[in-house]
Structure 1
Amino acid sequence: MKRLLAASLFAVLSQAAIAQGNALIESESWNELRFDFVGDTTLHDGAALFTVETPYRAHDAATVPIVISQSADATPIHGALVIIDENPAPLAADLTFSEAMWPLDFELRVRVNQYSNIRVIAETDDGLFMNGGYVKASGGCSAPASRDPEVALASMGQMRLRSFDDTPRMSGQRREAQVMIRHPNYSGLQRDQITQLFVSAHFINLIEVFQGDEILFTLEGGISVSENPVFRFGYRDNGAPTIRIRARDTEGNIFEQVLAKDDGA
């Protein structure tokens, strides 16, 4: 009987450890960074407001998925900072969201340079709320690009939209979409595989996504956003037939494309 109880207790504790395996952990780096991002502002526990899904052990440190989700009745999130404590440039993304994005269901992919907390600080009318997870990954910021530089630069700025709802489109309908932008997003920490010289930093630092003329979300980013940025998100359809994507990189290049919402459904 005692052995059975011990086994049951071990199973319960093991499940709890797995469930909490990538909760945020204490971080000396965050203690040093905190004031730069939020000053003395109180950070509330965001667990009841939104979830942050991250892998505990990343399959690819150069493309780590982060999913920020809310329930239908959650307090709206106007904006969010995505911070990777141990990255050379901790601020991965500064996001703003329109009402059409509420409740939030948003995924992006980032680079993680070493084992680190990934934290999301959400801005609401009730203050700032923080949630996140601890991710085991390393080398993401210096990982070689997946494509030959000439090929990557030749396709730079190409965009694609995928819709995941094939029902007839109508205003007010909740829809889900994914946008992809071709760009090497060089971090400045990668080496040319032939010359072994560092490749100069060259990355997208601003992305704006609209439906028709209405903004859906903006992202101001740095070197921590993955190569060929991909964003998957839910939104409320305003009846416009198109999604417009506008991006700017650190070389001053502007990329813009208008894509039909029903393409790729």
Structure 2
Amino acid sequence: MPMMRRTFATALLTMFCVGSAPGVHASEADAGREERWQQIADYIFEDREVVPTDSLIKIDAPKRAQDAALVPITLTMPEKDKIKSVYLVIDENPIPLAAHVTFGPGADAGALHLRVRVDTYTNIHAVAETTEGKLFSNAVFVKASGGCSAPSGPSDAEAMKGMGEMRMKFAEKVQQGKSAEATLMIRHPNFSGMQMNQLTRLYTPPRYVERVTVSQGDRTVMEVTGDISLSTNPAIGFSFVPADQAPIRVVASDNKGGQWEESFDVPLATN
């Protein structure tokens, strides 16, 4: 699969980038973006039909990013009980599939918050996979530039300090059986392979968080598969439904074989 992703990325880098082409008529640009999305969708989902929707999944993203390397994205799934997983696709990024999040029995699939890199003007697609295996997509257009090549820190060594350290913030005290919000933060440079080391003038090899599993007790909350489009020090906001007093357990790994594990006590509300 990594080789397939890299081959796909190489092919996409050679394609015409309508989002940044000057003088292109709006209708032509829109048609080009739609054609590109169809190519990406065919690659990711093969022969599965992806149906546009305004109701099953919604995207909240800035129209113009303040920081292209740190773009906040919120996905909302109003009919959360129908949702099995979501895909986040940044069409014009070198590797468009930014994340695939699969919800487990311990999840509340109503909302998801991510921070991503956006490399150029682009459509961002969110695709909801239902429990019946059907795919529905929504899209927004975001103006940004240079997010994938922006440095992760003053130096590679500085960016890698404390790699794998995790923190978790809970929005409030947790009540048994009621949905609770949490934010997972992972210290990791998430090198994209497009960043130049300012000392050596060489490109830093890609090293990014590839998989994150969140569970409580014997129940999976979510599994996240990521790539270079997740921001430096990825942050993932999610909701879960606690069934007991077991801690939240997180296992994270990157594409270079790094693996880290951490447990977080759940702050329970007292009656």
By how many angstroms is 1:194 displaced? 2.0
Counterpart of 1:210 in structure 2 is 215
Alignment partner of 1:174 is 2:179: yes
Aligned counterparts of 2:114 and 2:32: Cα–Cα separation in 1: 22
Alignment counterpart, residue 190 of structure 1, candidates 187, 191, 195: 195
Q: Does 1:237 align with 2:242?
A: yes
Aligned partner of 1:215: which letter?
T
Partner of 1:221: 226
Does residue 249 of the first structure (1) align with residue 249 of the second (2)?
A: no
Q: Which residue of 2 aligns with 1:129?
A: 136
1:24–1:131 Cα contact (<8 Å) kept: no
1:63 aligns with 2:67: no
Over 3 Å counting, the alpha-carbon distance change for 1:112 and 1:35 in structure 2 is: same
Q: Are the equivalent residues in 2 in contact too, given 1:82–1:118 (CA < 8 A)?
A: yes
Corresponding letter in the other structure for 1:97: F
Match in the other structure for 1:200: 205
Cα contact 2:103–2:223 (8 A) shared by 1: yes
Please state if 1:41 is matched with 2:52.
no
Deviation at 1:25, TM superposition (A): 8.9
User: Aligned with 1:108: secondary structure?
Assistant: strand
Does the 8 Å contact 1:53/1:132 carry over to 2? Answer: no
The CA deviation at 1:74 is 4.5
Normalised TM-score (structure 2): 0.82
What is aligned with 1:111? 117
Q: Is the 8 A contact 2:57 2:127 kept in 1?
A: no
CA deviation map 1:157-177 (0-9, x unaligned): 0000100013xx332111100
Question: C-alpha deviations, 1:167-195, integer Å up to 9, x for none?
Answer: xx332111100010000010100001222
Unaligned runs of 5+ in 2: 1-29
Matched AA of 1:51: K
Query: What is the CA–CA distance in structure 1 between the aligned matches of 2:155 and 2:192, rounded to whole Å?
Result: 15
Q: Corresponding residue for 1:14?
A: none
**Helix, strand or coil at the partner of 2:38:** helix
The amino acid across from 1:239 in the alignment is D
Q: Which residue of the partner structure matches residue 88 of structure 2?
A: 82
Q: Is the 8 A contact 2:106 2:216 kept in 1?
A: no
- Deviations along 1:25-62, whole A, 9 cap, x unmatched? 94332132221122232222221112111111011111
The separation in 1 between residues aligned to 2:73 and 2:113, in whole angstroms, is 5
How many matched pairs?
Answer: 238
Bigger radius of gyration among the two: 1
Matches of 1:33 and 1:68 in 2, distance apart? 20
* Equivalent residues of 2:155, 2:197 under 8 A apart: no
| SS of structure 2 residue aligned to 1:190 | coil
The alpha carbon displacement at 1:239 in A equals: 1.9
Q: Which moved more, 1:40-49 or 1:205-214?
A: 40-49
Are residues 171 and 65 of structure 1, via their aligned partners in 2, closer, same or farther at CA, if it must alter by over 3 Å? same
Give the residue type in structure 1 aligned to 2:229: S
Partner of residue 260, structure 1:
265
Match in the other structure for 2:34: 27
The answer as to whether partners of 2:105 and 2:219 remain within 8 angstroms in 1 is no
In 2, Cα distance between the equivalents of 1:193 and 1:26?
A: 34
Describe the shift of the 1:237–1:75 C-alpha distance in structure 2 as closer, same or farther (beyond 3 A): closer
- For 1:102, what is the secondary structure of its paired residue? strand
Q: For residues 123-167 of structure 1, what are the alpha-carbon distances to aligned partners after superposition, in whole Å with 9 as ceiling and x for unaligned?
A: 10341110121110110110011353223323100000100013x
**Separation in structure 2 between the aligned mates of residue 24 and residue 60 of structure 1, nearest angstrom:** 27
Q: How far did residue 64 of structure 1 move?
A: 1.0
1:138 equivalent to 2:145? Answer: yes
**What is residue 158 of structure 2 aligned with on the other side?**
151
What letter is aligned with 1:87?
A: N
After TM superposition, the structure 1 stretch with the greater mean CA deviation from structure 2, 234-243 or 24-33, is 24-33
How many angstroms apart in 1 are the aligned matches of 2:90 and 2:62? 14
Cα deviation for residue 242 of structure 1 reads 1.3
> Considering only aligned residues, what root-mean-square deviation do their CA atoms show, in Å?
2.1
Contact 1:25 1:117 in 2 (8 A): no
Q: Which moved more, 1:186-195 or 1:31-40?
A: 31-40
Identity %, equivalent residues: 36
The answer to whether the 8 A contact 1:25-1:134 is kept is no
